Amino acid sequence: MQAKRRSMLYVPGSDPKKCLKALMFNSDSVIFDLEDAVAPDQKEFARQTVCELLKAPRETGKELVVRVNQVSDSVGMEDLKAILPCKPDTVILPKASAREVTIADTFVTIFREDREIGLIPLIETMHGLVTLREILNSSDKITGVQFGAEDLTKEMGIRRTAQGKELSYARSELTFIARSFGVDAIDTPYVDYRDVEGFEQDLAYIRSIGMTAKTAIHPSQIEKINQAFTFSERDIAEAKEIVEAFEKAVQQGLGVISINGKMVDAPVAKRAADVLASAGLNEVKGF
């Protein structure tokens, strides 16, 4: 058993063929985009296309997400009115603020009927980042927070690089706050899908700071994202060794032990138990 979200594939809502094809890939989520990827004169067609796909029989376990336009604007309002009755699993709110989330929350409450619909604020402005706690407190329907690098770097007047050093603070701040609220921390797409080495380095970095998922703009990115957010056999074996050894230590009245020259105490053992639980194995109790 893996986390619900690891990979989230963006696809233009105005392209029926790409939308259908996106459902066949191994991403945990498909994001039907009604915002940046859709020209103004194609908005209504995109709504109709996405709504028909949402009404069709669904593959179990795949999250169907819609990114709408800003809901404080008339275009975003029309998106919500058209899409919510078709029951997406989740709605992404661009240039999110507490006001945007409150508006969307109200609409979801009206339209959700017997199906829960989650919200993901897309943090892509300076104001969004510095008010993220307020945003997360504005709705109990939020299941994740997504980082948007392109608009943020544009607003700050800085150049986005492949190494992403200019994004370090924003990514870390977003991740820390999102995780403290118990929701997913979802990273911005890596835009050069041909740069495999850079993409792998990017994945390793965001995993190291605690992000839980990443958006993709090309199907070729999906498998590497899934791998990055999946514990390896080695990870699981090491976690099992730690948990079993620490459980025995607890039974003997010990609070700290050494495994392969490394200190293991309760927090380390708990982290190892969480790895096993995430991998679908039973968590050993006792610490």
Pick out the residues of the known binding site for Mg(2+).
124, 151
Angle between helices 74-83 and 98-111 (to 10 degrees): 30
Alpha-carbon separation of residue 216 from 29, 142, 199 (angstroms): 10, 21, 11
Total length of the chain: 287
Residue in the block written with tokens 């999110």: 96
Q: Cβ(217)–Cβ(23) under 8 Å? A: no
Sorted by sequence, the CB contacts under 8 Å of residue 31 that are 6+ apart come out as 8, 9, 10, 11, 65, 66, 67, 92, 215
Q: Which residues carry a binding-site annotation for substrate?
A: 67, 124
Amino acid at 145: V
**Contact between residue 95 and residue 124 where contact means Cβ atoms under 8 Å apart:** yes
Phi, psi of 33 (to 5 degrees): -95, 125
Residue 211: alpha-carbon gap to chain centroid: 8
Annotated binding residues, as ranges?
67, 124, 151
Residue 185's DSSP bridge partners are: 145
Backbone angles phi, psi at 107, to 5 degrees: -65, -45
Amino acid at 187: D
For the stretch 230-266, what's the b/e string if a residue is b when 16 or more beta carbons lie within 10 angstroms of its beta carbon? Answer: ebeeeebebbbebbebbbebbeeeeeebebeeeebee
> Rounded CA gap, 133 and 125, in Å?
14
Closest CA to 186 of 240, 233, 147, 128: 147
Does residue 29 sit in helix, strand or coil? strand
